[in-house]
A and B are shown apart, each in its own frame.
Chain A
Amino acid sequence: MDARTFGEAVAHVDLATGAVEMRPAPRDWVEKYIGGRGLGVRYLLENGPEVDPLSPENQLCFMNGPLSGSEASMSGRWACVTKSPLTGTVTDSHQGGWTAARVRWAGFDGLVFDGRAPKPVYAFLEDGRLELRDASAVWGQGIHDTVKFFQERYGAKDLSVCAIGPAGEEQVRFAAWLNEDDRAFGRGGTGAVAGSKNLKAIVVRAPRRTSTVEDPEAWKDARRKVLDRIRDEAHITSPKKGGLSVYGTNVLMNVANTMGALPTRNSQLTAFGERAEKISGEFVQESILVGDPTCHACPVACKKEVEIEEGPYAGLRMESVEYEPAWSLGANCDNDDIASIAKMIDQCNDLGMDPIELGNALSLYMEATEKSWVKDDGLEWGDASAMVALVEEIGRRSTPLGNLLAEGPARAGQEIGHPELAMAVKGQAIPAYDPRGLKGMGLGYATSNRGACHLRAYTAGAETGVLPIDADPLAWQGKGALVKAFQDLHAFSDSLDLCKFSAFAETAEEYALQYAIALGEAFGPDDVALTGERIYNLERHYNNRAGFREGSDDLPARFLEEPSTLAGSKGEVSELAPMLEEYYRERGWVEGVAPEAKLRELGIL
Chain B
Amino acid sequence: MSWGSSEARVHVSLFATLREIVGQKTVDLQVGPGSTVQALAEELVLRWPELGEHLFDAEGRLGRRVNVFIDGRNLRWLPDREQTRLTSTECIDLFPPVAGG
Q: Show the binding face of A for B, using Cβ within 8 Å.
A: 235-236, 241, 243-244, 246-252, 254-255, 258-260, 271, 277, 281-282, 302, 322-324, 454-455, 458, 460-461, 464-466, 468, 470, 472-474, 500-501, 504, 567-570
Contact = CB atoms under 8 A, between A and B. Distances in A.
For chain B, give the interface size range. Answer: 20 to 34
Given A243-B98, A260-B72, 9 more contacts: A243-B16, A244-B99, A254-B16, A254-B95, A259-B69, A323-B101, A466-B98, A473-B74, A473-B77
Query: Which 10 interchain pairs have the tightest Cβ spacing?
Result: A568-B72, A249-B100, A243-B98, A567-B72, A466-B97, A251-B98, A466-B99, A465-B67, A252-B100, A258-B93
Nearest to A302: B100
A437 to B, nearest CB: 8
A458 B17 CA distance: 23
Nearest to B72: A568
Contacts of A260: 72
B24 to A, nearest CB: 12
A496 B73 CA distance: 37
Contacts of A250: 100
Given A258-B69, A282-B15, A464 B93 contact: no
B96 interface: yes
Contacts of A277: 25
B101 A249 contact: yes
Contact of A568 (B17, B25, B65, B69): B69
A601 to B, nearest CB: 31
B53 to A, nearest CB: 10
Contacts of B16: 243, 246-247, 251, 254, 281-282
Contacts of A568: 69, 71-74
A258 B16 CA distance: 14
B19 interface: yes
Given A472-B77, A474-B77, A254 B101 contact: no
Nearest to A569: B72
B61 interface: no
A335 B72 CA distance: 22
Contacts of A258: 69, 72, 93, 95
Contacts of B96: 235, 243
B12 to A, nearest CB: 12
Given A258-B72, A464-B67, A569-B72, A458 B101 contact: yes
B73 A255 contact: no
Contacts of A246: 16-17
Contact of B97 (A235, A254, A281, A454): A235
A254 B77 contact: no
A458 B100 CA distance: 10
Interface string B45-72: 0000000000000000000110101011
Contact of A255 (B65, B67, B71): B67
A464 B95 CA distance: 10
Contacts of A474: 73, 77
Nearest to A247: B16
A465 B17 CA distance: 16
A282 B72 contact: no
Contacts of B25: 277
Nearest to B16: A243
A568 B15 CA distance: 17
A454 B100 CA distance: 11
A244 to B, nearest CB: 6
Contacts of A466: 67, 97-99
A236 to B, nearest CB: 5
27 contacts: A235-B17, A235-B98, A236-B97, A243-B16, A243-B96, A243-B100, A244-B99, A249-B101, A252-B98, A252-B99, A258-B72, A258-B95, A259-B69, A281-B16, A282-B16, A322-B100, A323-B100, A454-B101, A460-B101, A466-B97, A466-B99, A468-B64, A473-B74, A474-B73, A501-B99, A501-B101, A568-B69
